[in-house]
Amino acid sequence: MAVPRTTPRPPAEQASARPGGRGRPGEPRRVAYLYILPAVTVFALFVLYPLIRSGVFSLYDWDGLGTAEWAGLANYQAVFTEPALRGAFVHALVLIVFYAIIPVTLGLMLAATMSRARMAGLGFFRVVLFLPQVIPMVVVAVAWRQIYEPQGPLNSALRAVGLDALARPWLGDYTAALPSVGLVGTWIGTGLCLILFLAGMAKIPRELYEAARLDGAGRLREFTAITLPSVRGELSVALTLTVIAALKTFDLVYVMTSGGPGRQTTVPSYEVYNNAFLIGRVGTATALAIVLTVVVFLVTVVINRVGEKAQR
C-alpha cells in the first residue's frame, strides 16, 4: 500500500524510530554519516591532515631535521616581503598571461573557425592541437629546452632566415627566459581550450546563426552575440583549469631553468621545493604553500562566480 509522503506519523512511532536512524524521508539521519565515511576518511587522511600539518609547520622556524622554534607569522611576513619570494608570485602572474589568457583567446578563435568551416582533415588538426596535452610535462620540458639551446633549432632557424639579431640563449637570457617558459605553457594549453570550446559550440543550434544572418549580423556580430554567450560555461572551466596550471606550474621551470638565470623564472611551487628540500627552510616553504593554496582557491571562486553571474 502506498503511503503519501505527507502523511504524518503518530508521535509515538516517530520517537521510537529516531534512534534507529529512520526519520521522514529527506530528514537528516545519522546513518548518512556512514555513507560519506569512506570519502571523508580518504579526504581527511590525504588532504585535510597534510593541509593542517603544513599550516602548523608554517608557524615554526624549522630546518626539516632538528627541533623547531615557534616563529608566529614571521614566515608569512617573509613570503610578502622577501624579494625572492614575492618575485615568484609576480612571475606566476606573468605566466597567467601565457598559460591562460593567450590559450583561451587562441582556443576561442580556432574553435569558432573550425566549428563553422567545412574543411577536410578537421579531425587531424584537432588531434595535432590536442597532442601536447597527452605528452608528459617532463618530456615536453626536455624537448623545448633543446629547442631553446644557444645552438638549438630555434636559433638555427632564425639565423637561416637572416634574423641573427633575434637569436639568443633563450633560457639564459634575462628578459627572454620567462616568456620562453610561458610560450611552452601556451603551446600546451591551447589544445585543451580548443577541445572544450569545440564541444561547447557543437551544442549551439544552427537555427540561431540563420536567424542572426537574417537580422543582418556579420561574422563578428554572430561571434559576440551567439557563440561567446553559449560557451560561457566552457570559458569559466577553461579559465579555471589554465589559471590554476599557471599558478602551480613547477615541472617546466624545474627541468628547463631551475629558476634561473638569477631568479628570473622562479615560481611559487619551485620556491616551495627549493626552500623545503634544498635550503632547509621548511617553515617558509609551507607558509608559501599555504599562501599559494589560498590564492588558487580565491581565484577559482572568483572565476566561477563571475562565470555563473554572466550566465544568468
Partner 1 sequence: MKHYLSGRRRWSAAAAAAILFLAACAPGGGSDDDDGSDGEQQASDVQTDPAEMGEITLTVWDQEVRGGQAAQIEQLNAAFEKEYPNITIDRVSRSTDDLRTTLRLALSGDDAPDVVQANNGRPEMGQYVASDLLVPLDPYAEAYGWTDRFPASIRALASYSDDGSVYGEGQLYGLPQMGEIVGLFYSKSKLDELGMQPPETTEELEAILAAARDAGETPIQFGNSEPWAGIHEFGFVQNQFVDAETIRDLGFGRPGSSWTSDDNVTAAETIVSWVEAGYFTEGFNGIDYDTAWQNFAQGDGVFFPGGTWLVADLTETMGDDVGFVLTPAGASGENLVTGGISIPWAIPANGQNHDAAAAYINFITSADAMATVAETGNLPVVDSADQPAEGLQAEVFEAWAEAGERDLLVPYLDYATETFYDTITAAIQDLLSGQADPQQFLETLEAEYTAATG
Q: List residues near partner 1 by CB under 8 A.
A: 18, 28, 30, 52-53, 56-57, 60, 62-68, 70, 148-150, 168-174, 257-263, 274, 277-282
Q: Which residues contact 79 (CB under 8 A, 6 or more apart)?
A: 85, 86, 284, 287, 288, 291
Give the type of residue at 261. P
Cα–Cα distances (Å) from 32 to 19, 23, 28, 217, in that order, read: 13, 12, 7, 54
Instruction: Give residues with Cβ within 8 angstroms of 289, minimum separation 6.
Output: 54, 58, 268, 272
For residue 255, give the C-alpha cell.
627541468
Specify whether the backbone of 216 is left (phi greater than 0), alpha (psi in -120 to 50) or beta: left
- Count CB-CB contacts under 10 A for residue 178: 22
Beta strands in the chain (DSSP E): 60-61, 69-70
Q: DSSP letter at 30?
A: T
Smallest distance, partner 1 to C-beta of residue 152, A: 9
Q: Nearest approach, Cβ of 251 to partner 1 (angstroms)?
A: 15
- 152 or 307: CB nearest partner 1: 152
Nearest CB to partner 1, comparing residues 171 and 201: 171
Q: How far apart are CA 208 and CA 226, in angstroms?
A: 7
129: Cβ–Cβ under 8 A, 6 or more apart, which residues?
A: 110, 190, 191, 194
Q: With respect to partner 1, which residue has the nearer C-beta, 233 or 260?
A: 260
CA distance 90 to 85: 9
To partner 1, the closest distance from the beta carbon of 21 in angstroms equals: 11
In the bound complex, what is the minimum distance in angstroms from residue 15's beta carbon to partner 1?
12
Nearer to partner 1, 77 or 311 (CB): 77
The least distance separating partner 1 from the CB of residue 117, rounded to whole angstroms, comes to: 40
- Which residue number, 68 or 94, has a Cβ lying nearer to partner 1? 68
Query: Please, what is the minimum distance in Å from the beta carbon of residue 53 to partner 1?
Result: 6
Q: How far is CA 222 from CA 97, 211, 307, in A?
A: 26, 10, 20
In the complex, minimum distance from the CB of residue 49 to partner 1, in angstroms, rounded to a whole number: 8
